[in-house]
Amino acid sequence: MPVVRGCTLPDELLYDVANNIWYRDEGDGTLTVGLTVVATSMAGKLVAFTAKKVGKTIEAGKSCATVESGKWVGPAKLAFDAEIVAANEQLTAAPDTANSDCYGKGWMVRVKPADAAATSVLVPGSAVAEPYEAKMAADGYAGCAG
């Protein structure tokens, strides 16, 4: 499993490095989406999570959900056009689940891409270390706490 500046990045996942989002291919035409530990580490303890409504189609680069921590709100953006087919109500109820288990119980939404080939823009976990290191260096990000 790649670990970049103390941040774990499971290699079975796919990544949108620029937006700090992970995707997991569920094998049925849908992908589960969540925040990487880089995102949750930078944001701090989440106090609110609101997903866009199930059934809504989100354009590439637009927000599928917003998160809030310590009076800061930020968007979680999708890398491609997709329909939201499920939202994690457990995360809505307990937003800090994203801090404690961002790759498991802290998933945000499940989406169905408008074009299955669009997921080719994502970086597989096996190749994510280098681009993430470059992003952290460009952002001046020291890394995740140990």
The residue ranges that bind other proteins (CB under 8 A) are 18-19, 42-44, 47-50, 66, 68, 70-75, 92-95, 140
Residue 11 CB, nearest approach to other proteins (Å)? 25
Residue 61 CB, nearest approach to other proteins (Å)? 10
Residue 85 CB, nearest approach to other proteins (Å)? 19
Residue placing its CB nearer to other proteins in the complex, 29 or 61 = 61
Task: Assign 3-state DSSP to the chain and report helix, strand, coil percentages, each to 5.
Answer: 25, 35, 40
* DSSP line for 27-62: SSS-EEEEE-HHHHHHH-S--EEEEPPTT-EE-TTS
Distance between CA 69 and CA 9 in Å, rounded? 22
Neighbouring C-beta atoms of residue 100, cutoff 10 Å: 12
Residue placing its CB nearer to other proteins in the complex, 30 or 97 = 97
Residue placing its CB nearer to other proteins in the complex, 74 or 131 = 74
Distance between CA 1 and CA 132 in Å, rounded? 13
Residue 29 CB, nearest approach to other proteins (Å)? 27
Residue placing its CB nearer to other proteins in the complex, 75 or 124 = 75
